Structure 1
């Protein structure tokens, strides 16, 4: 049963956790219905926070359904880097059915992984200016 759990260690719990991501966005994955913001963490595993407003999803049942889908697809991602991730919902999510929502989220998770790999490879390939030319 452990494989099906979604422990507190996988969630952003405090306003400080959310503020860290909003104040220091390293990766943005935009989409018409979602915006994913991410920043590195020192936890050793990915954590997720969800922001879905009444303005964009009017009914609580709609917000809860989308949040369940996001958590479920996130939980099935086994090879995520150590990131703090905030998923923001945009307008139009209420009209998307669960199957399409799952496909969309899987695509967004893979885009997030690609952007993270690209950003870390760019950083590791660059040498600091202070070490250039020293022997």
Structure 2
């Protein structure tokens, strides 16, 4: 029983902890995205053998602190349960306006759908990055 519990944990190695780690995801040339009008997941490959999660739930988009905490809790939970299906990615979940209106079940369904989409897109070969002037 103890083994299964640790396999699905959310310990520090599974989190993005520093600003540099977040910056690496935001500035990566080979980004993988999974988007919805209320939520965006940005990801890039990492050199580890497991995925990591970062959360950006801005007060600008989700005013109420309890709503922000609920969103973060559900995002961590869905990631924790799907971490074995995801490739070695650093993923950042970004809130967009209107996310707070989703209830717990709808938010969990949306996140699960986006995790599947992210995993599928990460498996596909990436087109060459566009050079920005």
Number of residue pairs matched by the alignment: 122
1:117 to 120, 123, 130: 123
> Normalising to structure 1: TM-score of the pair?
0.85
State how far apart, in whole Å, the 1-side matches of 2:40 and 2:107 are: 14
User: Which structure 2 residues correspond to residues 92-103 of structure 1 after superposition, within 5 A?
Assistant: 92-103=98-109
Tell me which structure has the larger Cα radius of gyration. 1
> Normalising to structure 2: TM-score of the pair?
0.86
Partner of 1:42: 47
Relative CO higher for 1 or 2, CA cutoff 8 Å, sep ≥ 6?
Answer: 2
For residues 85 and 54 of structure 1, do their structure 2 counterparts lie closer, same or farther at Cα, with a shift above 3 Å needed?
same
- Structural RMSD (CA): 1.5
The answer to whether the aligner puts 1:19 opposite 2:23 as a matched pair is: yes
Write the deviation string for residues 2-60 of structure 1: whole angstroms up to 9, x where unpaired.
Answer: 24521000000000100100010521111111111110000110001000111100011
Write the deviation string for residues 93-114 of structure 1: whole angstroms up to 9, x where unpaired.
Answer: 1111111111111100010011
